[in-house]
Structure 1
Amino acid sequence: MGVLGTVGCTGEEDPQEPAGTCQAAWQHDYQGGTSSADEALSVWAGSSGAVYVAGYERGNLGQTNIEPSGDSRAVVLRFLPNGTLDRTEVTDTGGTDVAEHIVGSETQELLTVVGRTTGALENATNRGQFDLFVTQLDGKGNKQRTVQQGDARPQHPMKVAVHPNGSVFVAGFDDMFVQGRVVLDSENGFVTRINREGNGFASGAAWKFASTVESNPDRLTGFVASPSADALYSSGFKFFADSEGPGGAYVRRIDPANGNLLWTSVIAPVATEADELLLTPDNHLFLAGSSQMPLEPGVPVVGEVDVFLALLNPSDGQVQWIRTVGTQGSELATALARAPNGDIYVAGSTLGSFPGFTHQGGKDLFVLRFSADGRLRGTWQRGTAGNDQATALWVDPCGRVFLAGYTEGALVPGSQNQGSRDMFLLKVDVPQPQSPPL
């Protein structure tokens, strides 16, 4: 195998514990940053044991309605199987650059990164405020192809998926559109397809599905494609019903051939966010989110906002079962991943305390471990006196659970916070719960 898939991790499944063993033990977690703001926004790991983190560094916060601002740099960090930082790939246009999501393909030996920029990448022209970009790297970090697309609105891509034929799907939303201190439109969710053309990408989109109703925020945050890319699913929240469809927390299925909307399933009409989607190899569609509503039959909301995990029918989006978990505080789900043995992990932030843990101040990190049928099998919580935000979660073929995000404190022992926010990468072991969450 190539650089992305050298021997280092096996996928032998164990029905009780995360699958596989690694040749190199994880020796230390990572916290790093600059004197400005730095955030890890995505994480991916393959069978080689190497771990890749995408995000940004050197950004400014609190100066504009869309963050970060300033001369931030989009970065991809590669960690060795033992946790040592190996190298950092940088995209720096002179504008604001952010890497939002990274996925890997061991068969194609490619890393695909989607991000946004206020500048212009090589041989490209910026079309407005933030343009989206897609860059593909080989396992050594060499850029293979890049495309930049946009219009007058500020694009905020959240997810990328790769078609077996090399095309890519990008999902996210247009941020609030402001010109001259005048708000012209709210967020508009979108999914777009960019085809391969020769050795590169086509300069324009093959199709784009997008919300166009003004002043009705449609914040799309979840997206997943089937392995063959014959099915696309997106999730998010729309404030109210309009001419395009129902409001509330939704899951949509989109035709990958032409971008047509096939169906919309409403999870809850109000006070609920459908945040993250996951499609398993055996075609089970999972949704993680947060709600102030009692979504699980017979189970009241524990705190102000609880997290939920739901299994949906991939054919029509109907809920098969739903599980809610919470503390006396509030929880927000921000990441979702599957282990080789089928366990499902949900990560996010909490203002409360899960059993066996004590809230440290501000937002704490949490990871919940569920069986494939929705039974809670483990809880984990960690934090500092400041805000700690989980943004990404991945379980590698060895069953190692990796959590990425940013911290305002000293999250990793032996580290000191370098600026307003530091990025982090943690290997997380999720213990069995001591009792039902309070």
Structure 2
Amino acid sequence: MKKRTLLFAGAALALGCGPAEPPPPPAGSAFSVRAGGSSCDLGAEVATGADGHVAVVGTFAGTIDFGGGPLDSAGSSDIVFATFDAEGKPGPAARFGGPAQDGIPRVVAVDGGSWVIAVNTQTELDLGGGPLTPPGAAGAAIGKLDAQGKHVYSTMLGATVSGMAAGGSDAVVATGSFSGSLVLGGETLTSAGATDVFVTKLDGKGAPTWSRAFGSASLESGMAVAVDGSGNVLLGGGLLAPVDFGGGATSHAGGVDAVLVKLDANGDHVFTKTFGDAADQVIQAVSTDAQGNVFVAGLFEGRLDFGSGELASQGRDLFVAKLDPSGAELWSRTFRLTSAEWDDSAPRIAADPDGGLVVTGMFTDALNLGGVPLEGFGQTDIYVARYNAAGKHLDSRSFGDPSYQLAGGLVVDRTGAAVITGSFYGTVDFGQGPLESAGECDIYLARFAP
């Protein structure tokens, strides 16, 4: 796979509980559901609110029903948004899209039981407030929905969004890539090369409060993003050349280097750290815990060192690491992946309320995440693993059958329950009985009680 593809890092979720937050919701139940028709329907991302409710977004064609009634697509692929309570009871759902194929959506939970979704699109898209048109060849439609799935605001960015996180006080932080000029509020960002990275904070009405752009004469693409309980922004990704994120030009050891950037709540630079050697390394997911510690995960070749000694790959391997708020390593782990593609095997991570970490993704053949080795059932399978605050392995499981199962999004709620989404062919069982696909591939949503 080309190196430029490796830079499109997956999104990550931030989790932080401040002292003013309400008590955690009831623990809820483990449940799993499927939705889909005769076409291939994809589960993309999942979020959870303070009340324990869950929202899932994905794409579908034809008809789809999450339990609240059928939704019909208008084109070859539409966006689906569906909600559930912590017991698995379906809530409001909606579809968005036109005659053309729509991009992969993202979702985060914000204050008041509302949700913010983002969809990259090359054509006009209506998120409920009227048609939005990209200013150039492509753009990102961002919209807020209330607890009933009704439109609150929507806006179009002239860029591609690769990551989004709740920013506190009903705000969101979005990051991604753009070329040429990007107008955000009253500010115009100009790229230094083919594509640059942007990050912006949007208030509760979708208006930018601050925006930043970072780049070089080379190619920089979208990054993963998380926001800690103090409003600091964490960006993770990969670099092909030195870039100045506000603290001076980074080092560059060769190939693609992993990079972690911390900005404060006003978008000002706190630190930049790069990791890697002449091979390829990339951070594909970022999360934070209630103490402001930072988790990163991704794939790497060669060697990388987060501060406590080198991790050496045996080919293309998975890494996870926990850093303190200053970026110093607390612990790191590496796991052997076989037949790993940069995009397909990108991990998803989320911190839990106790400072531990949940990791999900997909694998082929076999994978040992620190416990009993997991054996693959078939083509690709899903794994879920949990570690405590010190990095000790607590649990790991695999799910699949002889066909394909694909990882999508992950979130951990304030009770410690993990929720995953993605897609599957054939049959998959998350512990509540088998789910069987109705068509080419269906969306799954599974909640594991704390």
TM above 0.5: yes
Count of residues in Structure 1 that have an aligned counterpart in Structure 2: 378
Contact 1:110–1:136 (Cα < 8 Å) also in 2:
yes
Q: Of the two structures, which has the highest relative contact order with CA contacts closer than 8 Å and spacing of 6 or more?
A: 2
Q: 2:363 aligns with which of 350, 359, 378?
A: 350
Map Cα deviations across residues 351-377 of structure 1 (whole Å, 9 max, x no partner).
232335321122211122111111222
Report the alpha carbon displacement of residue 189 of structure 1 after superposing the two structures with TM.
Answer: 3.0
Question: In 2, Cα distance between the equivalents of 1:359 and 1:50?
Answer: 32
Contact 1:114–1:160 (Cα < 8 Å) also in 2:
no
3-state DSSP of counterpart to 2:299: strand
Q: Say whether residues 1:168 and 2:172 are aligned partners.
A: yes
Question: In 2, Cα distance between the equivalents of 1:236 and 1:299?
Answer: 18
Letter in 2 for 1:95: A
Deviates more, 1:339-348 or 1:204-213: 204-213
Q: Say whether residues 1:29 and 2:32 are aligned partners.
A: yes
Residue equivalent to 2:334: 324
Residue equivalent to 2:18: none
Report the alpha carbon displacement of residue 99 of structure 1 after superposing the two structures with TM.
Answer: 5.5
Question: In 1, Cα distance between the equivalents of 2:215 and 2:234?
Answer: 15
3-state DSSP of counterpart to 1:425: strand
Give 5+ residue unaligned stretches, structure 2. 1-21, 63-74, 180-192
Report the alpha carbon displacement of residue 234 of structure 1 after superposing the two structures with TM.
Answer: 0.5
Assess, with a 3 A threshold, how the Cα gap between structure 1 residues 225 and 126 changes in structure 2: closer, same or farther.
Answer: same
Residue equivalent to 1:274: 283
Q: Say whether residues 1:370 and 2:387 are aligned partners.
A: yes
Map Cα deviations across residues 231-254 of structure 1 (whole Å, 9 max, x no partner).
211011123446864441111123
Contact 2:258–2:275 (Cα < 8 Å) also in 1:
yes
Q: Say whether residues 1:220 and 2:225 are aligned partners.
A: no
Letter in 2 for 1:36: S
Letter in 1 for 2:200: T
TM-score by length of 1: 0.76
Residue equivalent to 1:390: 407
Letter in 2 for 1:397: R
Letter in 1 for 2:225: F
Report the alpha carbon displacement of residue 341 of structure 1 after superposing the two structures with TM.
Answer: 2.8
Residue equivalent to 2:416: 399
Assess, with a 3 A threshold, how the Cα gap between structure 1 residues 304 and 256 changes in structure 2: closer, same or farther.
Answer: same
Residue equivalent to 2:235: 234
Contact 1:130–1:156 (Cα < 8 Å) also in 2:
no
Residue equivalent to 1:307: 318
Contact 2:49–2:113 (Cα < 8 Å) also in 1:
no
Letter in 2 for 1:422: D
Report the alpha carbon displacement of residue 73 of structure 1 after superposing the two structures with TM.
Answer: 1.6
Report the alpha carbon displacement of residue 294 of structure 1 after superposing the two structures with TM.
Answer: 4.5
3-state DSSP of counterpart to 2:347: strand
Assess, with a 3 A threshold, how the Cα gap between structure 1 residues 186 and 380 changes in structure 2: closer, same or farther.
Answer: farther
TM-score by length of 2: 0.74
Report the alpha carbon displacement of residue 416 of structure 1 after superposing the two structures with TM.
Answer: 3.3
Letter in 2 for 1:322: S
Assess, with a 3 A threshold, how the Cα gap between structure 1 residues 134 and 242 changes in structure 2: closer, same or farther.
Answer: closer
Letter in 2 for 1:287: V
Residue equivalent to 2:352: 339
Q: 1:381 aligns with which of 395, 398, 401?
A: 398
Report the alpha carbon displacement of residue 37 of structure 1 after superposing the two structures with TM.
Answer: 2.9
